[in-house]
Amino acid sequence: MTTNISIFDTTLRDGTQGEGISLSADDKLKIAQKLDALGVHYIEGGNPGSNSKDIEFFQRIRAFNLSAKVTAFGSTRRKNSLAEQDASLVRIAESGVPAATLVGKSWDFHVHTALQTSLEENLAMIYDSVAFLKRNGMEALFDAEHFFDGYKHNPEYAISVLKKAEEAGADWLVLCDTNGGTLPGEVHDIVTRIRKELNAPIGIHTHNDCELAVANSLAAVQAGARQVQGTINGYGERCGNANLCSIIPNLQIKMKYDVLSEEKLRSLTSTARYVSEIANVHMPVGQAFVGNAAFAHKGGIHVSAIMKDSKTYEHIQPELVGNKQRILVSELAGQSNIISKAQELGLDVNANNEKTKLIMDQIKELEHQGYQFEGADASLELLLREAFGGESKEIFKVESFKMLVEKTNGQMISEAIVKINVDGQQVYTAAEGNGPVNALDNALRKALVQFYPKIEEIHLSDYKVRVIDEKDATAAKVRVLIESTSLENTWSTVGVSSNVIEASWEALVDSIRYALLNMVKVESRHSDPHDRIGLVNH
C-alpha cells in the first residue's frame, strides 16, 4: 500500500522573499493556476492583509475554483491580547480561503529575545490563534518556527508548543528548520521521536543554508512526516527553501510515495520553467531533474553508451518529469555525438557518412575560433541541417544592415537599418531601440512581420557577451549567446566576432531563422503546402 504525501507550495509567499524576486498580483495568479495544474495540494498565497498585492490576490483567486487548497499565512496573535481582536487573524478569517498557516515560536531563545514575553504567554498565543481559525471553520496548519534549534536547546518546551497547537485543533504540525542548519540525520532522529509524542500529522519545512533542504525534507518523510513544504526551483530567503522540483520526483520515483499522478509529474519541467519565466529568474542549467542540462551528455564515450542504452548514464527516464535527453556537440565530441544529434533531428546519418567526419572537424574548428554549440542548440541544428541536406531552406536573405548610434540631449539613441530579401522581394526597414542589439532586433522583425506575422510571438529573453581573448583588450573576440522564447519553446544561438555588433547580428539572425524554420515545419503539417506555411496575412 502506497503512502500519500501532501505537497504544500509556498512559492507565492516564502519564495518571494528570495533576493531579486518580485511578483505582481497577476504573476501570482498565473503561477497559482500552473501549480494547481501540476497537482500540488496546498498553495500558500501570502498574508491577506500585509500588502496590496496579497490583498488583491486573495480577492481575485476565489474566481478560479482551484483544486488545490489556497492557504493564507499569518502569525499567532500579539502578546497579551485577544485573537478575536487581532487584525491579521481577522483578515485571514475573512479571506475566503479554506486553510491558513500560522507561524509560532518553538525555540525558547526566540520567545525571550524576539517576542520578549514569557514561555507561558507564547503557549497561550499559539492556543488562542489556532483555536480562532478552527472556530471560523478553517483548516489550521501550525508552523513551528525554528523547531529543530528549539528542540536541541530545550526539547521539553519545543514539544509543549506542538502539543498546545494540537490541543487547540491544529490539523497539521509543521516542523521548521528555519535557519537551515540542521543535518539530515538529526532531522530523521528528531522527527522519529516527535511522532511518538503526537497524534496530529507532521509536516516538514526546511531552508537550504547548508545545501541540505531537499535531503532534510526526504529524511523527515522517511521518519514519518506526511506533508512537505517548499517552493518551485527552491526560491526563498538567503539560500532558498526546499526545492519541490527535486523533492517531488525523489519522493515519487525513488522512494515510491504517492505524490502526483504520472501525467502531472510529466509537467514538472514545464512548470519549473514557467515559474522561472514569470519570476524573471534564470534557472541553473544543471538543476536536478528539470534543468536544461539535467540529462545532457557531452563526452564521446558517454554518448556512445547512451545510444546503446540510456540507463548507462541516466538515473531515470527524463520524460518521467517532462524533460528530455540532450546530446551536446563540442570540440570534445566524438562521432557518436554528431550521429545522435543528427538522428534526433530526423536526418539520415551514419558512421560511414563522410559528411559526419567533415562536420565534426568543422565544429571543432568553429569552437577553436570561439563558438560554443553546447549552449546554442539552435545554431547547431541549423549547421547540421545544412551539412546533411535537411530542411535548410533560406527563408530570408540578409543583404545589408547599418547601425547608427547618436548621443543627443544627454540620451543615447540607436537606430538600425536593415535590407533583406524574402522570396525575391526586397524589404528595407529602419527601427530604433534601447541599444544597438535591440534596434537590430526591432528592424529585422519589422522587415519580416509582414511575411511572417507569428514572429510577434517571439521575444529575446537573454543576451550574454563573453570576451574570449582578454589579453587583446578592446580588439578581443567576443562570443554572444542569445536566448529566445516563444509561446511553446526556448532556444539559444551563438555568434562570434571581434566586433560585438557583428557577433550579436549573427546570433540574432540564427535565432530568427531557427524560429521561422520550426514554424514552417509545424505549419506544413497542418496547412496547404502551397499556402506560405499559414503565416502570411491574406
Q: What is the pLDDT of residue 273?
A: 87
Strands 490-497 and 478-485 turn out to be: antiparallel
Domains, in order of start, for the chain: 6-260 (3.20.20.70), 296-387 (no CATH), 397-524 (3.30.160.270)
DSSP letter string, 23-53 = --HHHHHHHHHHHHHHT-SEEEEE-TTTSHH
Q: Note the pLDDT of residue 76.
A: 96
Give the Cα separation of 298 and 219 in Å (integer): 33
Residue 228 has what pLDDT?
98
Half-sphere exposure of 440 (CA within 13 A, CB side): 23
Kindly report, residue by residue over 409-439, the tens digit of the pLDDT: 878 889 999 999 888 889 999 999 888 888 9
% of the chain surpassing 90 pLDDT: 56
Q: Is the distance from CB of 237 to CB of 17 less than 8 angstroms?
A: yes
Q: Are strands 411-422 and 397-408 parallel, antiparallel or unpaired?
A: antiparallel
* Per-chain mean pLDDT for the chain: 86
Mean pLDDT, to the nearest integer, of 202-223? Answer: 98
The runs of H, that is alpha helices, within 168-267 are 184-195, 213-222, 244-249, 262-265
Instruction: Check whether 342 has a pLDDT greater than 80.
Output: no
C-alpha distances in angstroms, 417 versus 231, 294, 516?
46, 41, 21
Question: What is the rounded distance in angstroms from the CA atom of residue 280 to the CA atom of residue 136?
Answer: 38
Residue 115 DSSP symbol: I
pLDDT number for residue 525: 45
pLDDT at 352: 63
- Residue 526 confidence (pLDDT) above 60: no
- For residue 372, which amino acid is it? Q
Strand 99-105 to 139-145 pairing: parallel
Check whether 334 has a pLDDT greater than 90.
no
Element (H, E) at 377: helix 377-387
Residue type, 429: T
Q: Which of 110-119, 209-218, 448-457, 479-488 has the lowest mean pLDDT?
A: 479-488
Above pLDDT 70, what percent of the chain?
A: 86
In the block, cell 547547431 appears at: 380
CB < 8 Å & 24+ apart, contacts of 386-393 = 387/355, 387/358, 387/359, 387/362, 388/342, 388/347, 388/348, 388/349, 388/353, 388/355, 388/359, 389/347, 390/345, 390/346, 390/347, 391/517, 391/520, 391/521, 393/517, 393/520
**Does the pLDDT value for residue 101 go beyond 90?**
yes
Task: Quote the pLDDT of residue 290.
Answer: 94
Cell numbers describing residue 445: 522583425
Cα separation of 311 and 305, whole Å? 9
What was the pLDDT predicted at 535?
Answer: 38
Range 484-493 average pLDDT: 79
> Per-residue pLDDT for 447 more than 70?
yes
The one-letter amino acid code at 7 reads I
Q: Which of 295-309, 327-341, 410-424 has the lowest mean pLDDT?
A: 327-341
Q: Give the pLDDT confidence of 239-251 residue by residue, as tens digits.
A: 999 999 999 999 9
pLDDT digits (tens, 9 = 90+) for 172-200: 999 999 999 999 999 999 999 999 999 99
